[in-house]
């Protein structure tokens, strides 16, 4: 069998898993990403709220790949740090900002990006939280607001600096709100004793409940818990405009706020292609049940980029889906090597967990829904186990122990860097 | 006794120590810094070479101040994050970008900045290493060069990307060179197996020996050790020009290099003042033996900002000098509170250590000069003890154990941020 070249674009959960699963396939595998590290997205909110060092949740891709080849001698996984500019179906090439690469099989795993839903000012003034850079920018903003507020003599401007708004009541919005309360009750109270009680924390959700992907009673619990923690939750509230100093709602309410964190929408982040490909809602690519593109049998799309259904309902875009799809495409590509036809993907749902913070969370495993401290602990445990690298795992565990035992956080640098 | 206001500008070693020593003096103390964190400068080179997380060597100033007041109930140390724009002697005010502050006593501890010695192109193309941002920029540059080199088909351009030059043969230049060798022999060899042997590492020194502040035999040892480690050391070589792709020497040699790290010169980083103050070489302010400015008895200058001598020789600008001066000005200001006259400062030299890396260092304690692994271990030990915060200390220790036992480094992110 000739060595075939499999190119994987994107080193998120799906792409990295596909690379690992293909490591001993005998194929030449090339993984492309614009960063030289893999970001553990589920813990981004802890970077944004100053709990974790950015380096703990970002893992150098070459180290991860080296780990594959240590275990599997035959591994031929290479890495290229580059920006993909176009994919040419007829020539079977991927054009990057530095070179052109040919492929026999292509796995697209470029994930999603923030969608501002056409709200005026959101792109310019709201903070998105999809990358490590963006999470650090939120951390800088939060601490800058406090340092600004302590010097501010005008009380309405000070209140504006101390009002933090989160748009979107999904898992990310809830996580950020809860982690913010933890910050407030912990070191912000000690560092800014005159300010912390003036802080307003606002969570705006367009639908009638929080965590819409989960059973209704979990959303209700989350609402109550956040309310208890002092978060002002606005349900059935659409955002109509964002400015550098306020958030406008559909009912004409204007909230003076210097910080708007946008977690409300995602859209597929797909590369430019030479020919049009069929896409569904939010730009997600339509795929066969085997995860192949409708038009191209040697191209697969996985993770947030692909529109996939299970039992007639769309998948929700969580990491386990991308991981299982990474394994599935690796298997299907190897079937194609051997002249067999690919098999349909089926998602095995182990359950869902969401963390609220302050020792509470919610979860659903099978038909069993539960809330409280057990869900909180399970969330932390599961994410610790999935974090790549034993060193990161140890450091994150130590940091969490430090945070929850001493209620202190050490990452509160306001650190601006040069632009790329 | 009325409460007097002491304003300290700069939260480096000297300024922070002065604040701590004044914490229980009964005075209102205000510490001003442009950052919300204190940078542990001696370990910056380990951030630049991807060994330590930036957060480990940067400590939030408010946390440090809180620690003073926990120990000392009377503490009245406040913090202001601001950029100082001018100091007005006649009005006794410090003008910052956000407010104007009056003082009774003023401690200037604004340290030093890189001096490019008028070399054309140095400011534009050389990397300075005085701040956390600059150290991260060097880390980004090193890993970007490797990622660029692996994609580069032109061999001379590849060699240029893989040639790293360090200008300056003082402690910082030697540290960076040694740490770079550690990187090369450690994970760079594993991450870039086809490249690491092509790397050229160049150290350019204008004088006839390295570590000119220390006894000659220590400089000679350092030269031999670096040579052994594969570093090309150029002595008696002046840099005449830096471009984005080369380093020009006085003997007309042109070294093609994409990275020039500039550790060659420092100058005082003094704020604008309403009236001229007397200064010495490199812009350092002239002070009385009591550390008071010649013209202003209620203004002190300490650390790298001040020109001070001991036994007729100028001090060398290391952290212990600034720390001891911080204690001394606090004592002198308290003497002035009580109507007594300030006392002259005298530096107690506990010794000097410099680290080369790869298990070697040099040291001098009293008349005793020593080299090798003992000096290396002592350097690490001393710096661990002086690092602020037990958490940083633990994490740095774990990281060093990890680095030296496994020869791996985990901080190799190429992470660009938004500009301030």
- CB contacts under 8 A, A 57-76 vs B, are 58-60, 62-63, 66
Mark whether B175 is an active-site residue: yes
- Is the pLDDT at A354 greater than 80, yes or no? yes
Residue B413: which of A37, A191, A392 has the nearest Cβ? A37
- Is the pLDDT at B285 greater than 60, yes or no? yes
Q: Is A272:A87 a contact under the CB 8 Å cutoff? A: yes
Distance (Å) from the alpha carbon of A302 to chain B's nearest alpha carbon: 25
**Residue in the block written with tokens 């680290």:** B355
- At B136 the pLDDT is 94
Q: Do A418 and B80 touch (CB under 8 A)?
A: no
Residue B36: which of A136, A147, A419 has the nearest Cβ? A147
Q: Is B360:B50 a contact under the CB 8 Å cutoff? A: no
User: What pLDDT digit, counting tens, does each position of B329-369 carry?
Assistant: 999 999 999 999 999 999 999 999 999 998 999 999 999 99
Confidence of residue A418 (pLDDT cuts 50, 70, 90): low
Q: Looking at chain A, which residue has its C-alpha nearest residue B415?
A: A133
- At A75 the pLDDT is 64
Confidence of residue B419 (pLDDT cuts 50, 70, 90): very low
- Long-range contacts formed by A219-225: CB under 8 A, 24+ apart: A221/A362, A221/A371, A222/A174, A222/A354, A222/A356, A222/A362, A225/A356, A225/A358, A225/A360
Q: Does A410 touch chain B (CB under 8 A)?
A: yes
Q: Do B191 and A62 touch (CB under 8 A)?
A: yes
Mean pLDDT to the nearest integer, A344-373: 94
| Three-state DSSP class for residue A364 | strand
Q: Is the dihedral of CA A211, A217, A221, A224 positive or negative?
A: positive
Going from N- to C-terminal start, the domains of chain B cover: 5-114+266-337, 122-264+351-406
- CB contacts under 8 A, A 151-190 vs B, are 151, 187, 190
- At B69 the pLDDT is 66
DSSP single-letter state for residue A284: P
Q: Do A63 and B133 touch (CB under 8 A)?
A: no
Q: Which of A25-29, A413-417, B34-38, B336-340 has the lowest mean pLDDT?
A: A413-417
Mean pLDDT to the nearest integer, A255-273: 94
* Token representation of residue A371: 């809330």
Beta strands in B287-402 (DSSP E): 299-301, 306-307, 309-310, 313-314, 352-357, 360-365, 368-372
CA distance B330 to B68: 15
DSSP single-letter state for residue B198: G
Nearest CA among A247, A306, A242 for reference residue A109:
A306
Distance (Å) from the alpha carbon of A367 to chain B's nearest alpha carbon: 41
Q: Is B167:B261 a contact under the CB 8 Å cutoff? A: yes
The pTM of this model reads: 0.93
Q: Do B62 and A411 touch (CB under 8 A)?
A: no
Burial of A204 (0-12, 13-18, 19+ CB in 10 A): buried
CA distance A396 to A404: 12
User: What pLDDT digit, counting tens, does each position of A371-392 carry?
Assistant: 999 999 999 999 999 998 888 8
* Token representation of residue A38: 């893999």
CA angle, A13 then A16 then A19, to 5°: 145
Selected catalytic residue, list A95, A134, A175, A182: A175
- At B395 the pLDDT is 86
Selected catalytic residue, list B175, B232, B267, B419: B175
Q: Looking at chain A, which residue has its C-alpha nearest residue B38?
A: A413
Q: Looking at chain B, which residue has its C-alpha nearest residue A39?
A: B413
Q: Do B413 and A55 touch (CB under 8 A)?
A: yes
- For residue A162, CA distances in Å to A16, A191, B56 come to 40, 14, 28
Q: Do A418 and B415 touch (CB under 8 A)?
A: no
CATH fit for domain B5-114+266-337, picks 3.40.50.2020, 3.40.50.300, 3.50.50.60, 1.10.3210.10: 3.50.50.60
- Is the pLDDT at B75 greater than 70, yes or no? no
Q: Does A139 touch chain B (CB under 8 A)?
A: no
Mean pLDDT to the nearest integer, B205-233: 96
Distance (Å) from the alpha carbon of B395 to chain A's nearest alpha carbon: 8
* Token representation of residue B87: 């100091």
User: What pLDDT digit, counting tens, does each position of B144-179 carry?
Assistant: 999 999 999 999 999 999 999 999 999 999 999 999
Q: Do B417 and A133 touch (CB under 8 A)?
A: yes
Crossing angle of helices A216-228 and A171-183, in 10° steps, is 20
Count of A-B CB contacts under 8 Å: 130
Mean pLDDT over all residues of chain B?
92
Mean pLDDT to the nearest integer, B303-322: 93
DSSP single-letter state for residue A338: T
What are the b/e assignments for B90-104, b being 16+ CB within 10 Å?
Answer: eebbbbbeeeebebb
CATH 3.40.50.720 applies to domain A5-34+82-114+266-337: no
Q: Collect all residues with Cβ–Cβ distance below 8 Å to A23 and sequence separation of at least 6.
A: A29, A68, A69, A72, A74, A75, A76, A77
| Three-state DSSP class for residue A65 | helix
- Is the pLDDT at A420 greater than 70, yes or no? no
Run of H or E including A100? strand A100-102
Query: One fold for both A5-34+82-114+266-337 and A122-264+351-406?
Result: yes
- Higher-confidence residue of B385 and B408: namely B385
Residue B133: which of A133, A410, A416 has the nearest Cβ? A416
Mean pLDDT to the nearest integer, A80-106: 96
- At B420 the pLDDT is 40
Mean pLDDT to the nearest integer, A159-165: 98
- Is the pLDDT at A419 greater than 50, yes or no? no
Mean pLDDT to the nearest integer, B265-284: 90
Which of B36, B59, B124, B129 has the highest number of chain A CBs within 10 A, making it the mutation to test binding with A? B36
Distance (Å) from the alpha carbon of B416 to chain A's nearest alpha carbon: 5
In chain B, what is the straight-line distance between the N-terminal and C-terminal CA atoms, in Å? 43
The architecture CATH gives domain B122-264+351-406: 3-Layer(bba) Sandwich (3.50)
Q: What is the DSSP string of B113-164?
A: EE--TT-TTHHHHSEE-SSHHHHHHHHHHHHHHHHHHHH---HHHHHHHTEE
- Higher-confidence residue of B316 and A158: namely A158
- At B1 the pLDDT is 47
- Is the pLDDT at A260 greater than 80, yes or no? yes
Confidence of residue A190 (pLDDT cuts 50, 70, 90): confident
DSSP single-letter state for residue A78: E
Q: Does A147 touch chain B (CB under 8 A)?
A: yes
């Amino acid at each position: 069998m000739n060595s075939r070249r499999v190119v994987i674009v994107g080193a998120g959960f799906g792409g990295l898993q596909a690379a690992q699963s293909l490591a001993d396939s005998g194929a030449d595998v090339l993984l492309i990403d614009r960063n030289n590290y893999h970001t553990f997205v589920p813990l981004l909110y802890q970077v944004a709220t100053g709990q974790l060092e950015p380096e703990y949740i970002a893992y150098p891709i070459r180290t991860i790949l080296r780990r594959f080849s240590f275990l599997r001698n035959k591994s031929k996984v290479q890495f290229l740090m580059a920006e993909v500019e176009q994919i040419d179906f007829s020539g079977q090439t991927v054009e990057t900002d530095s070179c052109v690469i040919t492929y026999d099989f292509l796995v697209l795993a470029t994930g999603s990006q923030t969608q501002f839903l056409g709200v005026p000012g959101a792109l310019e003034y709201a903070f998105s939280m999809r990358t490590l850079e963006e999470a650090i920018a939120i951390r800088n903003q939060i601490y800058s607001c406090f340092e600004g507020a302590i010097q501010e003599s005008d009380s309405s401007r000070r209140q504006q600096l101390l009002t933090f708004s989160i748009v979107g009541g999904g898992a990310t919005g809830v996580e950020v709100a809860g982690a913010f309360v933890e910050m407030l009750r912990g070191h912000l109270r000690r560092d800014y004793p005159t300010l912390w009680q003036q802080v307003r924390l606002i969570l705006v959700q367009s639908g009638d409940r929080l965590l819409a992907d989960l059973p209704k009673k979990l959303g209700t619990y989350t609402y109550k818990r956040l309310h208890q923690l002092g978060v002002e939750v606005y349900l059935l509230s659409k955002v109509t405009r964002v400015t550098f100093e306020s958030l406008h709602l559909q009912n004409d309410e204007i909230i003076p706020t210097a910080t708007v964190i946008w977690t409300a929408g995602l859209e597929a982040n797909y590369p430019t292609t030479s020919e049009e490909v069929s896409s569904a809602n939010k730009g997600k690519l339509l795929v066969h049940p085997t995860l192949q593109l409708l038009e191209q049998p040697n191209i697969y799309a996985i993770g947030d980029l692909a529109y996939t259904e299970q039992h007639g309902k769309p998948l929700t875009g969580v990491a386990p889906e991308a991981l299982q799809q990474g394994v599935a495409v690796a298997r299907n590509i190897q079937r194609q090597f051997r002249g067999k036809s690919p098999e349909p993907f089926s998602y095995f749902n182990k359950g869902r967990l969401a963390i609220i913070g302050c020792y509470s969370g919610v979860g659903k495993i099978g038909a069993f829904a539960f809330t409280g401290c057990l869900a909180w602990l399970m969330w932390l445990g599961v994410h610790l186990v999935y974090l790549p690298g034993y060193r990161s795992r140890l450091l994150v565990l130590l940091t969490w122990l430090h945070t929850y035992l001493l209620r202190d956080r050490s990452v509160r640098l306001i650190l601006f860097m040069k632009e790329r």
